[in-house]
A and B are shown apart, each in its own frame.
Chain A
Amino acid sequence: MPKSDLYAGIGLMAFGLITLFVLIPTQTSDGGDASISPALLPQICAVCITGLAVLLTLQAAGKLKRGKAAGQAVPKAEWISSVAVIVAVGVAVLQFKYVNPAVAAGLLILGLMLFMGERRIYFLIGIPAFLLIGAWLLFYEVLGTAIG
């Protein structure tokens, strides 16, 4: 997958340079009297990541130049499922904060089941109910740790 390697290399190069010249200077103190700067290890990592990203980019560009196939690395279905999972968990976090933990958990499970094509009503009701009751029993009754 030289094409995706090329994009990954360019992205990582940018990440390495931003880390080195923006993030580390603004997010790390100079260390004052410290014998070794707190920025030392992050700087070593950022320099090495940038250097390796340059190598990866050159390697991928060389392969592309030689006409090696550039297949699609991630199928469309996996892109869609990834976005769906992230959105479902993100919405659940918002519901958890602003509505209710049980509603958040119930809708998270229900939403993903519906997304995956489950339409049997007894499963759509039974599984979220079973999990919520199980989590309540485990955390509130057995372990004594409230969630939310």
Chain B
Amino acid sequence: MLDELYSVAGSAFAVGNIAWILFGVTLGYLVGALPGLGKGTATAVAIPLTFYLEPLSAIAFLVGISKGSTAGSAVSAILLNTPGEPSSTPTAMAGYPLARAGKAQKALKMGLFASVLGDLFSTVVLILVAQELAEYALGIGPVELTAILAFSMVFIAGLSGRSMIKGLIAGLFGILISCMGLEIETGSPRLTFGLIELYDGLPLIPVAIGMLALSEMMIQIGQRQRLADEADLLKGSSKREDQIVTLADWKNCIRPIVRGSLIGTVVGILPGLGASVGSFLSYGAERRASGRGADFEESGAIEGVAAAESADNAVVPASLVPLFAIGIPGSVIAAILIGAFTIQGITPGPLLFLENKDLILGVYVSMLAASVMLLFIGYFGQNMFARIVRISPALIMPIVVFLCCIGAYLQGGGTFGIGVMIVFGIIGFFSKKYDFSFVTFLIGFVIGPSFELSLRQSLGLVTDLPELLDHPVAIVFAVLAVVGVWRLTVLQRKQMAEMAKAETN
């Protein structure tokens, strides 16, 4: 593998490519640091730019943005108690009390180191695992693929929200919406309402921008006063030990970082779990291990920051494993990357390693380079990013809405794309407010065409139920899907009951 990576290092380290990664990481860090903006928004808005880039630079740029914004979201979490996205909430819980005690610099530095280590570890796992998995995936037929996709949808629906029913509705709605356009077998229009613009189906990028970015802006603009107020509560400190990461801090944090990186990587590989599950699991494990109880949040804990950030950042590269190996997007970022691959005429999945091996190896090298750049940009730009979080939301959010419109216009066939963005912005707003997982919707929308194709092929291959016995892998996944619905529903009910109990107490 090392020889293969070395062979593509020339193209990955070309000045143009490095410049795009650097730009991506910086932009991502900047957007991530801004309160209320997360990696989904950053990546979705940036996609239209990649239309004009070489495939390697395009993917590397977007991966740079997602890595940068994941790490950058710790800045607003620690300084303003306003996580850029839900996965940074544990960072805010452990880091904001430190910032109020004058130890913001220390918390930010440890958050950055943990982010880079988690990200680097997960990238190495991606490099080692994805190709091996893809070789197995090449032997998968349509019947097995249908069962795997159905299982993935159930898994994602059950884990990305609080309600299995709502998750399944969101996923099915995504698949239903993906049916719009010319039907694959007969070529006849389906659910197009006479609109020629819909013959190719709904464009992914305006849908993603609407669901992720515009809906988020609608919510955040309504919360602008709270965002502005948080910045006034910070305290400074002149003590040097409050501003640096000491050897004692490293001794305390190395175990949570290792544990967090492992948790984040495993969570990332499993489709649908997402960064929030990773960071909360890792934070919870460290909180229990510390034995400090409620003091962990009251006084703040640098170990908590390290645990949450390492897991949060480990999820992003690991979530590309199912995308590269099987073609299933396991996260929002992976779903958006499918749009970028499609723009470049590339289909993610096991054939990627046969048809575009140099590209994928180049992406690996670029990801490693992005991890190193993340360290430098985060470390040397820390003071600048700390100032940026104090910029008034009234200046930032109109700019983001403007960029959303440009992105939807360029990738959605003109003003039609903006119309699509508005419609899905409204749907995204309600799905976020009423807890219908927009992640499941987007993944359903992205895998819908593959699911339909494999379902049709399966129905042609399996005409009688006993013929299913020739496909044991499909049976296993079908059973797992049914068991998954049952187990995940039970689990969610337990969690809801515990939450209700905690609220009563």
Contact = CB atoms under 8 A, between A and B. Distances in A.
A34 interface: yes
A52 B415 CA distance: 35
Given A34-B185, A38-B185, A109 B222 contact: no
A4 B436 CA distance: 12
A42 B405 contact: no
Interface in A78-130: 78-82, 84-86, 88-90, 92-93, 96-97, 105, 108-110, 112-113, 115-118, 123, 127
Nearest to A19: B176
B410 interface: yes
B434 A5 contact: yes
Contacts of B225: 77
B393 interface: yes
Given A42-B190, A113-B398, A85 B168 contact: no
B394 interface: yes
B402 A56 contact: no
A85 B217 contact: yes
Which residue, B169, B186, B190, B223, has most C-beta atoms of chain A within 10 A? B169
Interface stretch (B82-90, B125-133, B349-357, B453-461): B453-461
A82 B398 contact: no
B212 to A, nearest CB: 14
Contact of B176 (A46, A97, A116): A46
A41 B402 contact: no
Given A45-B176, A74-B433, A108-B405, A93 B398 contact: no
Interface string B278-321: 00000000000000000000000000000000000000000000
B188 A109 contact: no
Contacts of A77: 222-223, 225
A41 B175 contact: yes
B395 A52 contact: no
A70 interface: no
Interface residues of A, number: 66
Given A45-B179, A78-B218, A89 B168 contact: no
A92 B405 contact: yes
A82 B461 CA distance: 49
Contacts of A49: 169, 172-173, 176
A86 B426 contact: yes
Interface stretch (B112-120, B257-265, B266-274, B417-425): B417-425
Contact of B398 (A40, A46, A112): A112
Contacts of A18: none
A131 B175 CA distance: 37
Q: How large is the interface on B (under 10, 10 to 19, 20 to 34, 35 or more residues)?
A: 35 or more
A77 B410 CA distance: 31
Interface of B is mostly: helix
A48 B157 CA distance: 14
A137 interface: no
Contacts of B221: 81, 84-85, 112, 115-116
Interface string A68-79: 000001110111
A7 to B, nearest CB: 9
A98 B410 CA distance: 19
Nearest to A126: B395
B242 interface: no
A75 B401 contact: no
A38 B176 contact: no
Contacts of A56: 163, 165-166, 169
Which of A52, A131, A135 has the most CB atoms of chain B within a 10 A radius of its CB? A52
Interface in A1-56: 1, 4-5, 8, 12, 19, 23-24, 27-29, 31-32, 34-36, 38-42, 45-46, 48-49, 52-53, 55-56
A84 B193 CA distance: 28
B214 interface: yes
B401 A28 contact: no
B222 A89 contact: no
B135 interface: no
Nearest to A135: B406
B438 interface: no
Nearest to A59: B165
Contacts of A110: 398
B394 A117 contact: yes
Nearest to A110: B398
Contacts of B410: 145, 147
Contacts of A1: 434-435
Nearest to A106: B402
Nearest to A5: B434
B165 A55 contact: yes
Q: Which of A38, A48, A59, A77 has the most CB of B within 10 A?
A: A38
A29 B190 contact: yes
Contacts of B433: 73-74, 78
A135 B179 CA distance: 34
Interface in B210-247: 214, 217-219, 221-225
Contacts of B395: 113, 118, 123, 127
B380 interface: no
A85 B214 contact: yes
B216 to A, nearest CB: 11
Contact of B189 (A29, A48, A97): A29
11 contacts: A1-B435, A31-B188, A38-B188, A41-B452, A42-B190, A45-B172, A85-B425, A86-B422, A113-B394, A143-B52, A147-B410
Given A78-B223, A88-B401, 8 more contacts: A31-B185, A41-B179, A48-B168, A81-B222, A105-B402, A105-B405, A109-B399, A110-B398
Give the 4 A-B CB pairs with smallest separation, nearest first.
A78-B222, A81-B222, A112-B398, A116-B394
